[in-house]
C-alpha cells in the first residue's frame, strides 16, 4: 500500500470515529423543562391567587462538593414561575430549619436562593450579555453577577414562614421579546448556612456541579405558556 493510500485510510477512519462521537452526543439526557404561566403577582412576599395554578418544580439535589451536613437536613425549595411582557417572576418556598445571614460573609454563604437565567437560551459555556445570576437572601438582600447582571433588573420581597422562608422575585427581561412559546435557559440553587456561619449545603434543580455561575451550557429550560 502506498504511503499516500495508508495516510488517506487513517484519516478517513479518524473522521468516521469523530462523526460517531458527534452522533453519540444526541444520547445525552434531555434537559428538564419548567413551565411559567402568564400572570403578574403583587411583589409582597405573600402567595396571591395568581400563583395557585403555576406548576411547581423541586430544588432538592445536593450540589457536589458543597454539602457538609446530612442531606436530609439540607435546605430545599419548591419553585413556581409566572411571566408577563416585562418580567419573569419566581416564587420560592424554601424549607430551611435554621435561618442565618452573616453580613460580612460571601453572599452565597448565607441562606439565599439563586436564579440563573440565559435569556436567549444559547447555552454558552461562558456568560454572555443576556446571562446573569440573581441572588436574594432570606432577609431580602439582593446580589448577583455575570455579564448580563444589573441589580436594577432584580426586585424581591421575602417573608419568614413556618419551617423556612418565601422569596418572590421579579427579574426584568431585556434581551428577548416575552411571548408564549419562548424558551429560556435556567438553573435554580438554594444556599444553606446550617449553623456554621458559612455555607454548609447547596441544593440545585438540574445540574449538580457548582459551575452554573460561569457556564450556562447545562441549564434546564423555562417555557412560557
Question: Which residues lie near ligand BGC (CB under 6 A)?
Answer: 108, 114, 133, 145, 189, 202, 210, 213
Q: Look at the chain and count its residues.
A: 225
Q: How far is the CB of 188 from ligand BGC (least distance, A)?
A: 11
Nearest to ligand BGC of 65, 163 (CB atom): 65
Nearest to ligand BGC of 124, 159 (CB atom): 124
Phi, psi of 16 (to 5 degrees): -65, -45
Nearest to ligand BGC of 66, 88 (CB atom): 66
Nearest to ligand BGC of 57, 224 (CB atom): 57
Residue nearest to ligand BGC (CB): 213
Q: How far is the CB of 60 from ligand BGC (least distance, A)?
A: 16
Rounded Cα–Cα distance for residues 157 and 155 (Å): 7
Q: How far is the CB of 147 from ligand BGC (least distance, A)?
A: 13
Nearest to ligand BGC of 120, 191 (CB atom): 191
Amino acid at each position: 500500500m502506498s504511503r499516500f493510500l495508508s495516510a488517506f485510510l487513517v484519516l478517513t477512519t479518524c473522521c468516521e470515529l469523530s462523526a460517531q462521537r458527534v452522533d453519540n452526543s444526541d444520547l445525552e439526557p434531555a434537559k428538564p423543562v419548567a413551565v411559567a404561566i402568564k400572570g403578574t403577582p403583587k411583589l409582597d412576599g405573600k402567595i396571591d391567587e395568581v400563583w395557585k395554578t403555576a406548576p411547581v418544580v423541586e430544588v432538592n439535589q445536593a450540589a457536589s462538593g458543597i454539602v457538609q451536613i446530612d442531606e436530609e437536613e439540607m435546605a430545599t425549595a419548591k419553585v413556581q414561575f409566572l411571566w408577563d411582557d416585562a418580567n419573569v417572576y419566581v416564587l420560592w418556598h424554601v424549607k430551611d430549619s435554621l435561618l442565618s445571614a452573616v453580613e460580612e460573609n460571601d453572599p452565597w454563604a448565607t441562606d439565599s436562593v439563586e436564579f440563573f437565567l440565559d435569556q436567549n437560551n444559547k447555552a454558552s459555556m461562558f456568560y454572555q450579555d443576556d446571562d446573569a445570576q440573581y441572588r436574594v437572601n432570606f432577609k431580602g438582600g439582593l446580589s448577583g453577577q455575570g455579564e448580563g447582571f444589573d441589580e436594577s433588573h432584580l426586585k424581591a420581597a421575602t417573608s419568614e414562614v413556618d419551617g423556612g422562608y418565601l422569596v418572590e422575585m421579579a427579574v426584568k427581561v431585556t434581551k428577548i421579546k416575552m411571548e408564549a412559546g419562548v424558551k429560556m435557559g435556567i438553573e435554580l440553587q438554594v444556599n444553606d448556612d446550617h449553623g456554621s456561619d458559612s455555607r454548609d449545603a447547596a441544593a440545585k434543580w438540574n445540574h449538580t456541579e457548582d459551575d452554573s455561575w460561569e457556564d450556562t451550557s447545562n441549564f434546564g429550560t423555562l417555557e412560557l405558556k
